[in-house]
Structure 1
Amino acid sequence: MKHLLKSAALAAGIGIFATATFAQDVTLRFQHFVSPKSANPKHFMQPWAEKIERDSGGRIKVELYPFMQLGGKAPSQYDLIRDGAVDGGWIIPGYQPGRFPEAEALEMPFMVTKSAEEASKAAWIFTQKHLMDDFNDIHVIAAHMHGPGIVHKRGDTIETISDFDDLKLRGPSRPATLLLNKLGATPVGMAVPAFPEALSKGILDGGVITWEMSPSLKLDQLTDSHTDVAGDKSLYNLYFVWAMNKDKYNSLPDDLKAVIDANSGFMASAWAGRAHDIGDVDGKARMTEAGNQIAEISADETAKIKALGDQVISEWISDVTRKGLDGAGLIADAQAAVQVTRMATDPDTN
C-alpha cells in the first residue's frame, strides 16, 4: 500500500510538472536576413537569445533563423512579424520607403555619430517620442542604428565629389539614395542580401554599407576601395527595430513578459549598437588585410558633401511637412537626442 501511494504521488507530481511545463515553456522563432557570422547576430542577437533563456530559467527558448529561412523577403519583415508568420525578428523600416517617414529623420546625412552604440541610444529616445504609435501593431524590443556608412566600390577611393559622377551605387534607404543622387551618383535602392550578386554581375559599381558587413558580403573580393568621410558624423546611417509579434508577447505569462521587458529598451538598443561597433573594427581590419585601398575624404571635401546633405534635409522637411508631419520638429528632436547621448558619454561636453 505504501508503495502504491508513493507511486501515485510520484505520478501526480510528474503530471503536475508536465502540465506546468506545457503551459509555460515557450519557443520563440526570430528571423533576420544576414549571415549569423555578421556583427549584430554574433554580438547581439545570439547573446540576447541566450540571456533570455538564462533569465527565464530555461522557460523561453529563442531560435534564430538567418537569411530569411522562415520565408519572405527582407523588406517584408515588419509584416511577417505583425501577422505572426514569425514570432519576432530584425526590421529595417527604410526598406519600405514612405511607410515610416518619421524614422527617416534619424537616417539623414551627418545626423548621428560614428559610434553605433551612441547613435542607438539616441534612436531609442527618438523612438519613444515619435515612433511607438507607428509600431503599435508589433512589440518593440529595441531600436538601434548601425555604424557609419562607407562607400565601397571597384577602382580607386573617392577623393572629391566629382568622383561620384555616374557611379551606380547601392543605397539601403530613401535618405541614403537622396544623398547619393545629390552627389552625382546613380542610386539603386537595394536590400543587403541582393548587394553581392549585383556587384558580381556588374550591375553596380559599388554601394554604401558598413565596415562590419563587408566581410560577410565578400567586399574584399568584390570591391577594391573603401572610403569614409572626415569627422565624427556618419555619411549616412540606417535605423533598425528588433521586435516580436504583439499577440505572442501578450500571450506570455506576466513573469515571462518581465524577462523580455528586462532585456528591452534603452539597454538592449545600446547593446545592439555596440555589436555594430565591434563589427566595424573587425570589418575594417579584414578589408585592410586584403590589401584593399582604405581612405578618408578630406575635411574640406567632407564639408562640401555635408552642404549637399543639408540640402537633402531641407528638401525632406518640406516634403514631409506637405504630408502633414512636423518635419522641422522631427529633425530638431533627432538632433536633440543625439546631443543628449553625446553629453552623457563624452566627458568633454559635460
Structure 2
Amino acid sequence: MHFKAKRVAAWAAVFASASLFGTGVANAKDDTVTLRFEHFLPANSNAQVNVIEPWCNDLKTESKGRIQCEIYPSMQLGGKPSQLNDQVRHGVVDIVWTALGYSAGSFPRSEVLELPFMLPGNGQAASKIIWDYATTYGKDDFTPYKVLAVYSDVGGTLHTTKKDVKTVDDLKGLRIRASTRLASRFLESVGATPVSMPPSQIADSLSKGVLDGALAAWEVVPPTKLDETTFYHTQTGPNQAATTITTLAVLMNKQRYEGLPADLRAILDKYSGEALTMRFAAAWDKATAQVVKTISANPKQHVNSWSADTYAALKAKSQPVVDEWLAAKVKNVDKQALYDGLEKLVKEQAPALVH
C-alpha cells in the first residue's frame, strides 16, 4: 500500500473508532452530535473568527445544544492542506474548509472557475455564480461529499516589494508566489516566474528577496504579513474580471451527514449551502474593503488598478492558458460544455463585466 494511502487509512481507523465511541456515549446521555472541523489557517483567521465559529454557534443554538463543533485550525490533526479533501472523504474528520486548487486533479470540473479573467472581482457576485455552477455544471466533482459552501476568495491582486507594476512588460522576470496550478500558468503566460510555497513562508521569502511579490487576495494580506513586505499593489478595476481566483469550499463527509437525525440534517441544511456560501463571501468582501482602506491610507503603500490597455493585454497574453485547459482531455469531462456553462452564468449575473 502506498505510504499516503496507509496514512489516510490509519487516520480513518483512529478517528472512526474515536467517533463511534464518542457518539455512542453522547447519544446515550443527551443525543449530542460533535462535528470535527479542520482547516489550514490559524485560529485568528477571518474564516474561523468571522464565519466558522459564528456558524457553529448558530447550529448549537438552533439545535438547543445537540450540534457541537470541535474546530482544528492550522492542520492540528496532521497532514497537509492538499490532503484535506481526502481526510474528509475518508472520515478522518467530519468537515473541512479548503481550497479546491490545493488538491490538483481532484476537482477537474471546477478548475474552469480559476482560469484567468472568468469571474467578477467581488466576493458576493462571484460566489453566487460559483454556487450556481457547482450545483449544476460542476456538481459531479462533489459526488463524494456533502457540499456546505463553495465560494470565491475575491481574486488575485499583485503585491510586489520594489516594483510598481503597471504594464505587462513590468511583469517580466518577477518571481511571484502563486496559490494554484492555474495561477502559476497565468503568471507564466504574462512573463513572470511563478513560485509555489505555503502561506506561512511568503513574508520571509519576500523579505529575503527570494520572491519579488505574490498574487493573492487582499483578505490574506494581514495574516501573511504582506503589508510589511510589499509596498506596491495592482488590482483589477471596476467591471474588470479577476486575474485569477482561488475557489474555497466547506466539504462534509457524506456518510456522516446522512447518518445525522433528520431534524439535525434540516438545521445543517438551513445554515449551509447558498446561505453559508454568501456568508463567507460577505466576510471576504468586508475584509477586502478594510484591508484596501488601511493600505491606501499608508503613505508608504501604493495601490493602483490595471489600465484598460494593460487589462486587455493581460487577457490576450493569458488566452493560451484557457486554450490549453480546454484542449487537455480528462475522462468523462466535457470541458467546452463547462466553459460555455460558466460563461452563460457570468453573462446572466454580471452583464457589465468586461470580457
For normalisation by structure 2, the TM-score amounts to: 0.86
CA drift at 1:181: 0.2
Q: How does 1:1-350 map to 2 (within 5 A)?
A: 22=29, 24-232=31-239, 233-290=241-298, 291-320=300-329, 325-342=333-350
Q: CA deviation at 1:123?
A: 0.9
Moved more, 83-92 or 210-219: 83-92
Q: Distance in 2 between matches of 1:199 and 1:79?
A: 32
Q: Partners of 1:98 and 1:189 in 2: how far apart? A: 17
CA contact (8 A) 1:26 1:59 kept: yes
Secondary structure in structure 2 of the residue aligned to 1:172: coil
Which AA in structure 1 matches 2:95? G
Q: After superposition, what is the alpha-carbon deviation per residue over 1:208-257, rounded to whole angstroms, capped at 9, x for unaligned? A: 11111101111111212111133421111111110122222222111111
Share of identical aligned residues, percent? 33
Give the deviation of 1:184 after TM superposition.
0.4
1 CA distance for matches of 2:190 and 2:334? 27
Contact 2:108 2:141 in 1 (8 A): no
Asked whether the equivalents of residues 118 and 270 of structure 1 are also in contact (C-alpha less than 8 Å), the reply is no
Alpha-carbon distance, 1:195 to partner: 2.6
Residues 121 and 236, structure 2, Cα contact 8 Å, conserved in 1: no
- State the alpha-carbon separation in 2 of the partners of residues 198 and 318 from structure 1: 35
Evaluate the alpha carbon distance shift between residue 92 and residue 179 of structure 1 in structure 2; reply closer, same or farther with a 3 A threshold: same
Moved more, 182-191 or 109-118: 182-191
Q: Identify unmatched segments of 5+ residues in structure 2.
A: 1-24
Give the deviation of 1:287 after TM superposition: 2.3
* Distance change (3 Å), C-alpha of 1:301 and 1:53: same
CA offset digits 1:280-322 (Å, max 9, x no partner) = 011212323443111112111111001123332122111246x
**Helix, strand or coil for the counterpart of 2:141?**
coil
- Does the CA contact (< 8 Å) of 2:110 and 2:141 recur in 1? no
> Displacement, 1:21?
6.3
Q: 1:259 to 1:21 in 2, by over 3 A?
A: farther
Q: Deviations over 1:165-188 (max 9, x none)?
A: 111111111221111001101112
Q: Secondary structure at the match of 2:41?
A: coil
State the structure with more CA Rg: 1
Contact 2:137–2:341, Cα closer than 8 Å, also in 1: no
Q: Which amino acid is 2:325 matched to?
A: W
CA shift digits 1:149-177 (9 cap, x unpaired): 10011113211111111111111112211
Query: Is the Cα–Cα contact under 8 Å of residues 159 and 233 in structure 2 kept in the other structure?
Result: yes
Identify the residue that residue 10 of structure 2 maps to in structure 1: none
When structure 1 is superposed on structure 2, of 31-40 and 106-115 the one drifting more is 31-40
Cα distance in 2 for residues equivalent to 1:250 and 1:300: 52
The answer on whether the counterparts of 1:33 and 1:67 sit within 8 Å (CA) in structure 2 is: yes
> Following superposition, which runs of at least 4 residues in structure 1 exceed 6 angstroms of deviation?
none
Instruction: Give the number of aligned pairs.
Output: 327
Deviation at 1:19, TM superposition (A): 7.8
Deviations along 1:46-66, whole A, 9 cap, x unmatched?
221111111111111123222
Contact kept, 8 Å, 1:28 with 1:87, in 2: the verdict is yes
Q: Confirm or deny: 8 A CA contact 2:46 2:283 kept in the other structure.
A: yes
Q: Residue type of the partner of 1:267?
A: A
- Identify the range of structure 1 (332-341 vs 81-90) with the bigger mean alpha-carbon deviation: 332-341
RMSD: 2.2
Question: In 2, Cα distance between the equivalents of 1:56 and 1:224?
Answer: 47
TM-aligned CA deviation for residue 20 of structure 1 = 5.8
- How big is the shift at 1:105? 0.7
Output the CA distance in 1 between the equivalents of 2:269 and 2:314: 41
Q: TM-score, normalised by structure 1?
A: 0.87
- State the AA in 1 paired with 2:122: S
CA contact (8 A) 2:138 2:338 kept: no
Contact 2:85 2:103 in 1 (8 A): no
Q: Which residue of 2 aligns with 1:6?
A: none
Q: Is the alpha carbon distance of 1:185 and 1:26 closer, same or farther for their aligned partners in structure 2, counting shifts above 3 Å? A: same
Whether contact under 8 Å (1:44, 1:272) holds in the other structure is yes
SS in structure 2 opposite 1:106? Answer: helix
Please, which runs of 5 or more residues in structure 1 have no aligned partner?
A: 1-17
